[in-house]
Each structure stands twice: as structure tokens, then as C-alpha cells.
Structure 1
Amino acid sequence: MSRLLHISASPRGAESISLAIAATFVEEYLATHPGEQPDTFDLWDGGLPEFGPAAAAAKMTVFGGGTPQGEQAEAWAAAVRTFERFDSYDRYLFTVPMWNAGVPYKLKQFIDVVSQPGMIFDVHPETGYRGLLRGKRAAVVYTSAVWGPGLGAEFGADFQSAFFGDWLRWAGVSDVQEIRHHPTLTGSYETARKQAEERAREIARTF
């Protein structure tokens, strides 16, 4: 049986559009996948470890074939626990609102914590990186209020999906489906919301 983990990068709770669309996805997923119970990883609940000097040093120790010790070992153990929680699922639903043309900093923190050698990737001097998250699927809810496809640079740029989609592919997740909500300042919020929810239900049915 597949396991679904919803990873929430939005801190806005009931006011969040991305979380509302994700709730529609989960509702349809539950209706079409009897017996399954998705879990949630709220990146804002205080459980995401920092990845500071000790963790960075531990990463380089591991890269060099060594074993982290002391403070480094503690920081590395926290990163490993976070990765193992993430890796124990084979289906992912990400809610990713646009912040300043990119992603919320907590999502970048999550990526930096779990993207470790021997876990998310390995690297060869001649063939380069190889993603290790094989056999997994991801659905991503992208939302923005000002930027939208087809608008000029004066309305911003999409470093949101460009960055996050690239990270998923780099990590080895090739089966990625997008759900987008970009009403822009002059578009129809209701139409964009309806289209996003229809897309969410469509993907959830066979996810």
C-alpha cells in the first residue's frame, strides 16, 4: 500500500490558498483510496532541525568518508531522522506558495536538511549527480497572487517552480504533477480556484 505525506510550506493556516487546494486533493484521495490515511509534515511546527555550522561540518565529514563526532554527530542525527521520516513515504503532496519569486524559507531549510550524500543523492567524478529517491511520486500545489504565466518581468519571475521542480528531479523524483493557482491582480480568483481544485481532484484520483 502506498503512503502519502503532505509537506506544508505555508504558515497561513485557514487563510492559505495552497492549503485549501491541498485539502481538496486529500479529500478526493481519501474518497478514491479506501483505507489509506495521509500524514502531514508541517514545516512550521518547530520540528524541522536547523542546518548550521555543526551540521555543515558533519556533512563534509561524511563526504570525506569519516564519522561525525560530538556536536556534529548530534546535528547529523537530526538530519538523518528528518530524512528517514520523509523517505518512509512513496507519495508526496507539497504546498508551495510563492514568496518573493521563490519558495518559503522553511521549504529551503527542509531541502538543505534532507539533501545529504547517500540519502538524497550520490555523485561520481565522471557522471555527476545521481538522485536516490527512486519509485516515488509528487504532486505540487504552486500558488501566487501577482505573478502569472505570460506576464512581463514587471510582475515578477517564477523561481518558485523552476527551483523546486529542479530539486525534485535532481533528487530522483521523475513523476511530478503540478496544480497551479495564479489568478494575478486582474484575473478571476473564482475561476482560477475552481480550475485548481478540479486539477487537484483529477490528480488525486489516480495518485
Structure 2
Amino acid sequence: MTKLLFIQASPRGEQSKSIQVAQTYLDALKATNPALEVDVLALWETALPAFDGDKAAAKVNVMLGQEHSAVQKTAWDQVVEIASRFIAADRYLFAVPMWNSAIPYRLKHYIDIIHQPGLLWGLNPETGYFGLLQNKHATLVLTSGAYADSRPSPAFGIDYQSTYLRAWLNQAGVIAIDEVRFQPTLLTPDPTGALEQAKRAAMDLGQAHGRV
């Protein structure tokens, strides 16, 4: 059975345009793949521990192949528990608004917890990082207030949103990545029509993915 992890990075719930478009994609995917198992991770409703000194020390020990102290082991076990939910999924669906040209800090916090050596990546001293996640697929639903590909001027923002997410996923081994964008959300002359257009694109992509 295929398992999809739906990561909601917006705190706005059902009012979020990124979540609305992502849900349209998911509904279409489920309609063509009813056996799909869906795990919803609403980041703003999820307790995420601080990545503190104990966890950082545990991470370094993993990289150096050293044993953990009792405190470090407890800290690392917490990291592994959170990361295991991500690792267990076959597909990822991200609903991500653009915040200050990048991603919401809650999503960055989550990534900083799970993106760990021996879990999502390894490091070869001669060839660099390599991903440990294999045969996974990610769909990114990206929204922004003013930024759009059609507005290349820095005055409308710079896209560190999709570039960061793609670079992170690639480093973890996730190469198959699709995008659906609703950008901009604030400056479009027809917000309702533009949202519906984004939903149609999401529905078409979900149906195509469901047939694979």
C-alpha cells in the first residue's frame, strides 16, 4: 500500500490557499488510487522539540561514529521517532506558503529535526553528501503573496522557497519532484479565477499521478 505524508506548513488551516490547492490534488489522487494511505502532518498543531545542544552533540557523534551518552541517546531517539514518520512515507505532499522569500520557520524547524546523518543522508569525504531515501516522490504546492515567475524583479521577492525545498529533498535522495504554484495570491487581477486555475492544475496532476 502506498503511503502519502501530507505536510501542511501554513498556520491558516482551511483558509490557506496552499492547503486548499494541495487538498484538491490529494482528492484527485485518492479518487484514482483509493487504496492510498494518507498521513496528515499539520506542523502548527504538532509539538516539535527544540534542536538543542544535546541533539546537536548526538548528531556529531553519529557523524563521527562515536557512542552516545545517556542524555544524547534520549535526545537522538526523539529525533529518530520524528524522522521515522517521514521516512515511512512513499510520497510527500507539501502545502507551503512563501514567507519572506523562503519557507515558514515551522517547516524549517521540522526539516532541521529530521534531516540527519544515517536517517536522510550520508556523507562521503571524497564525493560529498548522498541521499538515503530511495524511490520517493514529492509534490510541492507553492503559494506566495507577490512573487511570481512572471515578476523577475527583486522588488517582488526572490524564490528561495522552491529552490530550498528542492535542494533539501535532492540531498535526502528525493529526485522525483512536481510543483503546482498559485503565485501571486495578492496581486492577481482575478484571485478567484486564478485560484480555480491552480486547483485545476492540481487536479490534473493528481489524476495523472494516480494513474501511474
Q: Structure 1, residues 119-146: CA drift from partner, whole Å, max 9, x if none?
A: 1111111111111111000001000011
- Structure 2 residue aligned with 1:90: 90
1:148–1:182 contact (8 Å) kept in structure 2: yes
Inter-partner Cα distance in structure 2 for 1:46 and 1:93:
17
Matches within 5 A, 1:73-112: 73-112=73-112
Which residue number in structure 1 is paired with residue 205 of structure 2? 203
Equivalent in the alignment of 1:136: 136
What is the letter of the counterpart of residue 110 of structure 1?
Answer: Y
Question: Secondary structure of 1:10's match?
Answer: coil
Tell me the CA shift for residue 187 of structure 1: 3.6
For 2:187, the equivalent position in structure 1 comes to 185
Question: What RMSD, in angstroms, separates the aligned Cα atoms of the two structures?
Answer: 1.3
Bigger CA drift: 192-201 or 55-64? 192-201
Q: Report how far residue 13 of structure 1 moved.
A: 0.9
Question: Is the 2:2–2:37 contact (alpha carbons within 8 Å) kept by the matching residues of 1?
Answer: no
Name the SS for the 2:82 alignment partner. Answer: helix
Structure 1 equivalent of residue 2 of structure 2: 2
Q: State the alpha-carbon separation in 1 of the partners of residues 113 and 147 from structure 2.
A: 29
Secondary structure of 1:142's match?
Answer: strand
AA matched with 2:99: W
**How many Å separate the matches in 1 of 2:143 and 2:5?**
19
- Structure 2 match to 1:163: 164
What SS does the corresponding residue of 1:145 show, helix, strand or coil?
coil
- Residue by residue over 1:29-58, the C-alpha shift from the partner in whole angstroms, topping out at 9 and shown as x without a partner, is 221112323110111123322211111111
Q: State the aligned residue count.
A: 207
**What stretches of structure 2 of length at least 5 have no aligned partner?**
none
AA matched with 2:66:
G
- Please state how far the C-alpha of 1:63 moved relative to its aligned partner: 1.0
Question: Residues 59-78 of structure 1: matches in 2 within 5 Å?
Answer: 59-78=59-78
Counterpart of 1:117?
Answer: 117
Answer whether contact 1:26 1:38 (CA < 8 A) is retained.
Answer: no
Cα deviation, residue 150, structure 1: 2.6
* TM-score normalised to structure 2 length: 0.93
Aligned position for 2:53: 53
Q: 1:158 to 1:66 in 2, by over 3 A?
A: same
Contact 2:62 2:118 in 1 (8 A): no
The two structures have a TM-score, normalised by structure 1, of 0.95
CA distances 1:4-25 after superposition (whole Å, capped 9, x unpaired): 1101111111211011111111
Identity between Structure 1 and Structure 2 (%): 41
Quick check: 1:18–1:95 contact (8 Å CA) kept in 2? yes
Shift of 1:205: 1.6
Q: What is the deviation of 1:186?
A: 4.2
SS in 1 for 2:199: helix
